[in-house]
Structure 1
Amino acid sequence: MCTLAIHEKPSLLFGREIYQPMESAWPTIASSGDGPQFMVDFACKLDRKPKHVFSRTLDHVSWQNSFLLKVPVSEEVPQLTAEGMNLVVNDGPGLGATLAQLGLVDEYHFLVQPIVAGCPKIIGGVRERLNLKLSGTKSYGSGVVVLRYTPVR
């Protein structure tokens, strides 16, 4: 069961293709408490976070603290940031590419996993080159490395 005290910021941004599988998995783990403790803790954290879902095709969202957004990304994201929200995008080829093309990304975080899985595109759909500057790195005992980049404007 969820017993974590979580700070509500940042809010999460999703496109439909990433949101739907997460909505079908994580709330069940949070409510049942089934699985390794680190997964239950993560599920509880996700449950409590505000989740803003951009979709032209969904009629509703049912995951706790989820908000369906039908307005254009170019209008809604600046409005959310003007309201003081710190937004984390959980999407790549759809919403992530749209935000990148609109110049609405302040910082990119790329996780390098210690697994060889081919050469997927990190943010598919980006048509123009993104010039980025390394702003920080963090290594974890698991072998994961987080690379932080800011756009060069």
Structure 2
Amino acid sequence: MGRVILQMNVTLDGCCDHRQMIADEEVHRYTADLMDRCDGGLFGREIYQLMEQFWPAIASSGDGPPFIVDFAHKLNRQPKYVFSRTLDHVSWQNSFLLKGPVSEEVPKLTAEGKNLLVNGGPGLGSTLAQLGLVDEYHLLVNPIVAGRGPRLLGGIHERLKLKLTETKTFSSGVVLLRYAPVR
């Protein structure tokens, strides 16, 4: 049985807007290592389209620091499972459009033994958490107060009890808090 890992970058005030985060080499390498342990990524439409506008161009051009270019190539190779009710197709390399309910599609993928990473996207993250489909939470807490923006797990309507399983401090001051649901 596969697992679902939710990784979110978040500021001290709960914002998960990618423009507010520290995106240094150490954080990218952590995410890349996590991707290496997974069989694909889960994306909501908004995050997928945002990333599709950015990462394939970097992989193609090779413009940027080597760790960014390597990350772009890794994203291109990774299978991307995209949830959308409005898209008719997805064109980014190795992308698969899922039209069924999250509550049905994700268990099908994990039943196939797939370990899946949700990297960003408060909407899909909240949906997966609310459905009890998240097996690990990797929260990268940035030493920033954003003051505005989308909130981490803002769509949760019921209390989730979690157990801290790991902490790690990065040189930038970002702190990893890794949790597992208490079931």
Is the CA contact (8 Å cut-off) linking 2:82 and 2:96 kept in structure 1? yes
* CA distance in 1: counterparts of 2:172 and 2:57, whole angstroms: 26
Q: Match for residue 92 of structure 2?
A: 63
Q: Match for residue 10 of structure 1?
A: 39
Is the CA contact (8 Å cut-off) linking 2:43 and 2:80 kept in structure 1? yes
Q: Match for residue 182 of structure 2?
A: 152
SS of the equivalent of 1:94 reads helix
TM-score by length of 1: 0.90
Among 161, 164, 171, the residue aligned to 1:141: 171
Q: Match for residue 158 of structure 2?
A: 128
1:36-115 map, 5 Å: 36-115=65-144
Is the CA contact (8 Å cut-off) linking 1:52 and 1:68 kept in structure 2? yes
* CA distance in 2: counterparts of 1:115 and 1:124, whole angstroms: 19
Structure 1 segments of 4+ aligned residues over 4 angstroms from their partners: none
TM-score by length of 2: 0.76
RMSD of equivalent CA atoms:
1.7
Using the aligned pairs only, state the percent identity.
74
Higher relative contact order (CA 8 A, sep 6+): 2
Query: Rg: which structure is higher?
Result: 1
Give the C-alpha shift of residue 75 in structure 1: 0.8
SS of the equivalent of 1:20 reads helix
Q: Are residues 68 and 8 of structure 1, via their aligned partners in 2, closer, same or farther at CA, if it must alter by over 3 Å?
A: farther
Give the C-alpha shift of residue 35 in structure 1: 1.3
Give the C-alpha shift of residue 143 in structure 1: 1.9
* CA distance in 2: counterparts of 1:74 and 1:46, whole angstroms: 25
